[in-house]
Amino acid sequence: MLVLEKNAITEEIEESIKLHGNNRSALIPILQDIQRKHSHISDFAQQEVARLLDIHPVEVYSVVSFYAFLNTKPKGRNIVRLCQTITCDLQGKAAIAKAIERELNCKFGETTQDKKFSLEFANCLGMCDQGPAMIVNDKVYSHLTPEKAVQILSNIK
């Protein structure tokens, strides 16, 4: 990684700390900021967070590894989370997953070659009355059909 880039991440973390504070309870909001911006929390970012909050890097790693929405490996620019829980499953989740996989030539659990999308299954999104449902980044979409789901993704830059 370039030295310049490293400094940029450090600066971002310092910004986050200004916003959330530098005590331990600010850890998750800070990690969320990094995740949102970089689609993952790199080893370097973890070390910097640890240094700036004065905790051991292993502590940071242990928290990152616990939460489904925080990850250590780079993901696509857009994260698609399709609900796999029972009501959405009964309402046709599998057909939607297949249509998306065909269209993007990418399996769930993976990232497209152009790094545009990561496809993931998620547990109940609280939209069971309007399933099947998915969240793309921070927007929720309901009453999906295979065609509609593909359309939504093709509208994303």
Partner 1 sequence: MTTNKQKREGAVIFSEYERGSAIKKALSMGRDDILFELRESKLKGRGGAGFPTSTKWMLVAAAKAEEKYLICNADEGEPGTFKDRVLLLEYPELVFDAMVVGGYTLGAKHGVVYLRGEYEYMKKSLEDYLEAMRKDNLLGNNILGKEGFNFDISIFLGSGAYVCGEETALIESMEGQRGEARNKPPYPVNTGFMGMPTAVNNVETLAAVSHIVVKSGAWFKQHGTDKSTGSKLLSISGDCKKPGVYELPWGTKISELLELVGAENTKAVQVGGASGICLSRSEFDRTLAYEDAATGGSIMIFNENRDMLKVLKNFMEFFVEESCGQCTPCRIGNVKLLEGIEMIERGEYTFSYIKKLKDLGNTMKVASKCGLGQSSPNSFISILDNFSDEIFNNVNGGSHA
Which residue ranges make up the site for partner 1 (CB under 8 A)? 23-29, 31-32, 62-63, 66-70, 81, 84-87, 89-90, 122-131, 135, 138-142
Residue 105 neighbours by CB under 8 Å, 6+ apart: 112, 113
Compare residues 41 and 99 and give the one whose CB is closer to partner 1. 41
- Residue 4, phi then psi, degrees to nearest 5: -55, -45
The one of partner 1, ligand FES, none whose footprint includes residue 9, by CB under 5 to 8 A per kind, is none
Compare residues 43 and 89 and give the one whose CB is closer to ligand FES. 89
Torsion of CA 131, 102, 155, 86, to 10 degrees: 10
- Residue 136, phi then psi, degrees to nearest 5: -115, 115
Here's the x/- map for ligand FES, 83-102, by CB under 6 A: it reads as x-xxxx--------------
**How much is the CA Rg of the chain, to the nearest whole Å?**
18
Compare residues 78 and 85 and give the one whose CB is closer to ligand FES. 85
The one of ligand FES, partner 1, none whose footprint includes residue 118, by CB under 5 to 8 A per kind, is none
C-beta separation of 81 from 141 below 8 A: no
Q: What residues between 51 and 70 interact with ligand FES by CB under 6 A? A: none
Which of 53, 79, 104, 133 is close enough to bind ligand FES by CB under 6 A? Answer: 133
Angle at 82 (CA atoms; ends 90, 28), nearest 5 degrees: 135
| 27: three-class secondary structure by DSSP | helix
Minimum CB–partner distance for residue 21 and partner 1 (Å)? 11
| Positions in the binding site for ligand FES (CB under 6 A) | 83, 85-88, 124-128, 131, 133
